[in-house]
Structure formats: C-alpha cells, structure tokens
Amino acid sequence: QMNRGFVFVHGRIVGMEPQQEQQPIEILFTTTHLESFVPNYPTPGRTYDGVEQRESQMKQMTTFCDTYLSKHRNIVAAFVTGDLNWDDERPRSKGVDKTLLDLLNGGDGGIGRVKETNKKQGSSIRSNSHHPWIDAWKINQGKKSEGYTYDSKINPMLRGNLRRRFDRILIRENCYDSEEKQESASSTASSYASSSSLRIKSTNMFGM
C-alpha cells in the first residue's frame, strides 16, 4: 500500500588483492525498504503494522532471487538488504512478524521451499537446507550484541524507547548447478580478471 519496491544489481566482482590472482565472482545484490509501521492509522489510537504487506513483499523478493539464480547459474550468491522493518526479535515477545529465517527457509511452511530438479534444462538443485538464507549479522556478530539499527536510547533524534534490528543483510548461495556453470567458469575468469567494475542492471520490481 506504500508503493514500496526494490532495486537489483547483477554484478561481477574481482578480488582486490593485486598480488593474488582471483577469479571474478558473480552476485545478485538487491536492496529495498519494506512496508512501515504507521501509528494512529487508519484511526487515532490504532497502529498500522504492515505485517501482511511486508510478508508479501519479501515473498516477491525471494521468489525473484530464486528465479534469477535459476536462470543465471554462474551467480555465486544472492543478497537481500535494506530496511526490512522486520519485527521478530523483541526481548520479551516474538514481535508482530513471523521469524524471518523460518519463513524464508520453509521452517514455517514458508516461501523458501525449493522446486524439484528440472532435468530438461540440465540443471540440478540441492535441498534448500544445504543453501538456506542466512542472516549476516547473526553469523558474524549475533552473540556479541543485539545489533539494533533503530535505537531510540542512543539516538537523540528518535523519540520513545523503541529498539529494533529493522535493517538486515540476508544471503543465499546459489543452489542451482549445471554443466554450463562449470564450462563457463574459465571463460568468465579470462574476460574479467583484469577488471574490478560491476556490470549493473537495475529495476523497480513491485509496488504494493
């Protein structure tokens, strides 16, 4: 309902260490701002939580990523980043949103379930449990701090006492394999080994 969208980049990245010869890798990088909370809407005293819209928008993003990865099997991983407004980590309750990784990876009967192998196209796909969506903060910093990205206790510009980790970086390795992926690796490396630039394509994908 807020006409939210996302932008994606299909890029090739080359290692930055000049003394090391590294093959370039391809990634799918997306960024977005999902449906927000709105106090006193639609009537005074009520809060619009946007739960249904956020889940629908996240479903569209991850479905897009999965479809894109299946068509571009040289891509190593997909990234979903941005202000997701996802509220599933309250200290004393579960929050209004479903647990994000459970939703994405099928733990809640969710939207991350992987389709069967498409043998006609010569592709094979592993179980989603082998290549689930992961949360970069939880992997790297999760045990050290809460990682709040909205913290009214330390930011004087914010009112109230709200503290949440609304912003996320989610990563999923490409679970599609094909003979084409291995055959093209050497040609891709020779074409881009001397370049650190990204080839960029972007678009606004959905409006709610």
Looking at residues 168-177, what average pLDDT do you find? Answer: 88
pLDDT tens string 6-31: 899 999 887 656 655 667 889 999 99
Indicate the DSSP class of residue 183: H
Asked whether the predicted pLDDT for residue 34 surpasses 80, the reply is yes
3-class SS at 81? strand
Burial of 116 (0-12, 13-18, 19+ CB in 10 A): exposed
**Please, are residues 5 and 58 in contact by the beta-carbon 8 Å criterion?**
no
pLDDT, tens only, 181-194: 444 433 333 333 23
**CA 42 remoteness from chain centre:** 30
Contact (Cβ atoms closer than 8 angstroms) between residue 129 and residue 183:
no
- Asked whether the predicted pLDDT for residue 110 surpasses 90, the reply is no
Percent of the chain with pLDDT over 70: 68
Task: Give the pLDDT score at 53.
Answer: 94
Kindly state the helix (H) or strand (E) to which residue 36 belongs, with its residue range.
none
Are 114 and 129 spatial neighbours (Cβ–Cβ below 8 Å)?
no
pLDDT tops 90 at residue 99: yes
Using DSSP's 3-state secondary structure scheme, residue 200 falls into coil
Compute the average pLDDT of residues 39-66. Answer: 91
Separation CA 15–CA 55 (nearest Å): 35
